Chains A and B, each alone.
Chain A
Amino acid sequence: MPLPPSHSQTNLAFWIGGAAMALSGLFAAAAGMLQAGRRQTSRDELGFLTLWRPLLLHPARATMPAVLPMLETRHRLFFLKLWNQSMRNADAGAADGLAALARAVDCDRFCRRMLLRGERVERLLAALTLGQLRDHAAWDSLVNLTMSADGELSLQAFHAMLRIDAEAAASQSTPLLLARHDWPVAQLAAMLQPVQGAFMQPLVAALAETRAAHLPRALRLVEALRLPLPQAAVLPLLQEAHDTNVLLGALRLVRDVGLLPYARPHLRHDDWRVRVQAAKALGRVGEHADANRLIPLLGDAEWWVRYRAAQALAGMSFFSSAELELLRANLSDRYARDILGQVLAERQAA
């Protein structure tokens, strides 16, 4: 006999609730299994560390055993972590010993395989390790990895390339590092600083050739690396740049009196950010006559323009504090007086 409607509806609610509880039980069991697995991994890592840490702590010592313990496949990630940690604090002698030890356990070979087929964390560690090992055999795989959509992974691969052969990385990957906007300039600059000489020519060439979309990034890198850019490379950017970001980047690089005639017109630019950079440029390399160009900027509508113009004036070696105080007293604009007063107070406090 079929159940009355109310019974079947009640049963449905029971079934949904029961199914939810059963699923809850499964989730709880899965959480328990995960925790058990995690504990097992922790125990495993502890065992690994007990065996391997002493070996990696003193790799350069003659006491290193002739036969190393067998590195099990499941311990490879632990090894890479420990090895890279040891490399961080190693001096040149210890680093050579660590590299020899890594090769002795076939680390270079399994890292190359990890680069191709490993999970993300394995690839990251493998790229880091191969860079430290200066493993030329991994070059092509690393180049491929720099094209990866994963920003962190591709950047780590590029870093490894820099360690292996900075010159080759510069000639091969400069367009890429300008095009990959997901590679933070701050981190790139940190990577490039030790090998910045290799990037001087490619970056200067890129300023002339690269598309306008990548120019601001190239200029920011040049600035971050403090590369001595020739006047001829900056001049066309100051003269012809239509993109505000390019102009901003070029003005940041003005460190030559010869560029002043091309920087001065930008004091009247519509964009306040350009006026700020032009004022800063004049503060760096400006001449006595430029003071008269900066004084009107003390009354600019934008606070930062006023502030940078005041800083530029205060930073000019031609003016004494008394002269600047006199200038302040003679200013009719209240905002100009206030900002110059602040900058003078900052100068006194410094």
Chain B
Amino acid sequence: MIAAWCLYWILAAFFVLACAAAVLPCLFALPALRRLEQGRMLAALPQIHAGLEPPVSVVLTARDDAPGVDAPRIAAAVHALLALHYPLFEILVVDDGSSDDTMQVLTDAFALHPFPEAYRVRLPLRQPVTRIYRSTRHPNLRVIGKQAGGRADALNAAVNAARYPLVFSLACGTVPYIDSLHDLVLPFLANTGTVASVGLLDTTSDGARGVATPGIDALRAERFAPLGWSALDAMLVAPPGIQLLRKDAVVAAGGYCPAAACADADMLLRLHHAACDAAGPYRIAFTGEAAGHGGKDDERSPKRRCMRRQQVLVDGLARHMALLWGRRVPPKTRLAFLLLLVFDGAGPAIETAAWALLAVAALTGLLPLSACAAFLVLAVGLGMLQSTFALLLDAISPRGASRPGRLHALLRAAVTENLGPRQVRTYWRTLGLAAWLRQRGQM
């Protein structure tokens, strides 16, 4: 009986700490949200653009076996990129071993011709580059043909070929807003130590500028928490989005990792890792604003999506455990890593175990029913606290609760999501963790 009560309070304490860990970064997001609001107010005023902003290499990776990707869509994506508003940029399309007529369609659409480029290998590739093409119609467009090696390999091939100091990486299906580069480049102008600038991807709208809000829980985890950690210079994971990276930093980090569950998510951790090793000041900025739209998750089922995201998270954390104990890691980064590891990495498994143990204890009479009910009230109350805090931040944020009906929808979600859906998602994330552990065991 005493052991049951001890476990009861350990698990209750874990729920309280998990709630605190979820709310803490959101608290730090408050000043950043205020800045965003002020920025919105000033956005309509004359902007100072000299045309001297650092040039950018825009990288689009395409492979025909990816969901929703075909040759016409790739050509349309390139047309959209050519229309970007920015003083100087080049577009590098990497055709990662497409088996359809992608190259022919691109050749016809952009008047490509093979180009004798002295390809520079700074990052090793799994599969070789077969040929580089250059457009006679658009001098800033090149297409890299290579054998299929995955997105990380394709990105590494593009980084090798990139001429400019900043690399803007996109997947086919992602469309950046026409002036998004101006917003993303600002952190590089303001702070020379910036190695990455991340913008949100609006996966819910059809292109109208807005902020992705797939759910109140996602709103907190994918917008306000990264904004808070970014304000502390300790953002380790970013929501699905658009990344503008300093090429030298990517090369110093060893490039994209082909073995990682998600090359883009892993890159941010690699950048932290490399920058900590170099022991210099660095910054990874999160704009908190949508920089583009599209890029819907490959996984249509919510269960698979939850599992996939958990796998990506724990895979990244496992690959970069040195951020927890490395000597040169700043304390803020170490704390962020620890909280991620305990409450986001292992947390779902602990919470799922807590619900299972509670059910067993109630059925076997180890704990009185009133205690189980109290635990339920505690867990649901803390969940609602996290959700409504996100609701409050959304109301504070520009373009937030000003949309008609949004506040009511979010308020309803803040209540209903904690009465079942959150617990189900926690269970799915536990399944994702288990699947990752199984995969790791097989390697």
Binding site for B on A (CB under 8 A): 5-7, 9-11, 13-14, 16-21, 23-25, 27-28, 30-32, 34-35, 38-39, 42, 77, 81, 84-85, 87-88, 120-121, 124-125, 128, 151, 159, 181-182, 184-187, 189-191, 193, 224, 303, 306-307, 335, 338-339, 341-342, 345, 349-350
Partner of B50, one of A120, A159, A190: A190
CB pair B394–A31 under 8 Å, yes or no, is yes
Partner of B402, one of A21, A38, A224, A338: A38
Q: In the assembly, what is the distance between CA of A10 and CA of B362, in Å?
A: 14
Q: In the assembly, what is the distance between CA of A25 and CA of B377, in Å?
A: 15
CB pair B50–A17 under 8 Å, yes or no, is no
CB pair A85–B44 under 8 Å, yes or no, is yes
Q: 17 A–B contact pairs at CB < 8 A?
A: A6-B5, A6-B368, A11-B374, A20-B381, A21-B377, A27-B385, A27-B388, A28-B392, A34-B396, A35-B395, A39-B402, A85-B44, A125-B45, A186-B54, A341-B116, A341-B118, A349-B115
Interface size on B, residues (CB 8 A): 60
| Additional A-B contacts beyond A21-B377, A28-B391, A341-B118 (15; CB < 8 A) | A5-B5, A6-B5, A6-B371, A13-B371, A17-B374, A17-B379, A23-B385, A28-B388, A30-B392, A32-B395, A84-B46, A85-B44, A186-B50, A339-B118, A342-B115
Partner of B371, one of A10, A186, A339: A10
A339 contact set on B, CB distance < 8 A: 118
Closest-CB distance, B431 to chain A (whole angstroms): 27
CB pair A20–B19 under 8 Å, yes or no, is yes
Complex interface: stretch among B66-74, B189-197, B312-320, B343-351: B189-197
Q: In the assembly, what is the distance between CA of A345 and CA of B368, in Å?
A: 82
Q: For the complex, is B104 an interface residue (Cβ under 8 Å from A)? A: no
B49 contact set on A, CB distance < 8 A: 187, 190
Partner of A187, one of B42, B50, B134, B395: B50
B379 contact set on A, CB distance < 8 A: 17
Partner of A186, one of B52, B374, B389: B52
A18 contact set on B, CB distance < 8 A: 377, 381
CB pair B118–A16 under 8 Å, yes or no, is no
Closest-CB distance, B6 to chain A (whole angstroms): 11
Closest-CB distance, A314 to chain B (whole angstroms): 13
CB nearest to A77 among chain B residues: B41
Q: For the complex, is B211 an interface residue (Cβ under 8 Å from A)? A: no
Residue among A6, A25, A159, A184 having the largest count of chain B Cβ atoms under 10 Å: A184
Q: For the complex, is B378 an interface residue (Cβ under 8 Å from A)? A: yes
CB pair A35–B401 under 8 Å, yes or no, is yes
Task: List 4 tightest A-B contacts by C-beta distance, closest first.
Answer: A190-B50, A20-B381, A17-B377, A17-B381
Q: For the complex, is B117 an interface residue (Cβ under 8 Å from A)? A: yes
B42 contact set on A, CB distance < 8 A: 121, 124-125
CB pair A342–B52 under 8 Å, yes or no, is no
Interface residues of A: mostly helix, strand, loop or mixed? helix
CB nearest to A302 among chain B residues: B120
Partner of A27, one of B51, B376, B389: B389
Q: In the assembly, what is the distance between CA of A77 and CA of B8, in Å?
A: 55
CB pair B368–A10 under 8 Å, yes or no, is yes
CB nearest to B35 among chain A residues: A120
Q: In the assembly, what is the distance between CA of A350 and CA of B394, in Å?
A: 51
CB pair A121–B38 under 8 Å, yes or no, is yes
Partner of A350, one of B139, B401, B411: B139
Q: For the complex, is B375 an interface residue (Cβ under 8 Å from A)? A: yes
- B:363-418 near A, CB below 8 Å: 367-368, 370-371, 374-382, 384-385, 387-389, 391-392, 394-396, 401-402, 407, 411, 414
Partner of A34, one of B44, B376, B385, B395: B395
Q: For the complex, is B3 an interface residue (Cβ under 8 Å from A)? A: no
- Contact string, B10-54, partner A, CB cutoff 8 A, digits 1/0? 001000100100000000000000000010011011101111111
Partner of B414, one of A16, A28, A182: A28
CB pair A181–B19 under 8 Å, yes or no, is no
CB pair A81–B41 under 8 Å, yes or no, is yes
Closest-CB distance, B86 to chain A (whole angstroms): 12
CB nearest to A5 among chain B residues: B5
- B:130-146 near A, CB below 8 Å: 134, 136, 139
CB pair A186–B53 under 8 Å, yes or no, is yes
B192 contact set on A, CB distance < 8 A: 181
Q: In the assembly, what is the distance between CA of A216 and CA of B385, in Å?
A: 51
Query: With A9-B9, A17-B378, A151-B190 in contact, do A338 and B385 touch (Cβ < 8 Å)?
Result: no
A159 contact set on B, CB distance < 8 A: 48
Q: In the assembly, what is the distance between CA of A306 and CA of B117, in Å?
A: 13
Query: With A24-B414, A35-B401, A189-B52 in contact, do A13 and B377 touch (Cβ < 8 Å)?
Result: yes
Query: With A17-B379, A335-B118 in contact, do A120 and B38 touch (Cβ < 8 Å)?
Result: yes
A151 contact set on B, CB distance < 8 A: 190
CB nearest to A13 among chain B residues: B374
CB nearest to B389 among chain A residues: A27
A88 contact set on B, CB distance < 8 A: 45-46
B45 contact set on A, CB distance < 8 A: 81, 84-85, 88, 125, 128
CB nearest to A7 among chain B residues: B370
B384 contact set on A, CB distance < 8 A: 20-21, 24
Residue among B120, B122, B379 having the largest count of chain A Cβ atoms under 10 Å: B120
A9 contact set on B, CB distance < 8 A: 5, 8-9, 371
CB pair A24–B368 under 8 Å, yes or no, is no
CB pair A31–B371 under 8 Å, yes or no, is no
Q: In the assembly, what is the distance between CA of A32 and CA of B402, in Å?
A: 11
Closest-CB distance, A94 to chain B (whole angstroms): 15
CB nearest to B2 among chain A residues: A5
A14 contact set on B, CB distance < 8 A: 374, 377-378
A32 contact set on B, CB distance < 8 A: 395, 407
Q: In the assembly, what is the distance between CA of A77 and CA of B44, in Å?
A: 13
Query: With A184-B190, A349-B139 in contact, do A35 and B371 touch (Cβ < 8 Å)?
Result: no
B136 contact set on A, CB distance < 8 A: 349
Q: In the assembly, what is the distance between CA of A338 and CA of B380, in Å?
A: 66
Closest-CB distance, B125 to chain A (whole angstroms): 16
Partner of A17, one of B52, B367, B382: B382
CB pair B378–A34 under 8 Å, yes or no, is no
Residue among A7, A120, A187 having the largest count of chain B Cβ atoms under 10 Å: A187
B190 contact set on A, CB distance < 8 A: 151, 182, 184
Q: In the assembly, what is the distance between CA of A224 and CA of B52, in Å?
A: 8
Closest-CB distance, A313 to chain B (whole angstroms): 14
Q: In the assembly, what is the distance between CA of A7 and CA of B373, in Å?
A: 12
Closest-CB distance, B142 to chain A (whole angstroms): 11
CB nearest to B117 among chain A residues: A342
Closest-CB distance, B187 to chain A (whole angstroms): 10
Query: With A9-B9, A306-B118 in contact, do A24 and B387 touch (Cβ < 8 Å)?
Result: yes
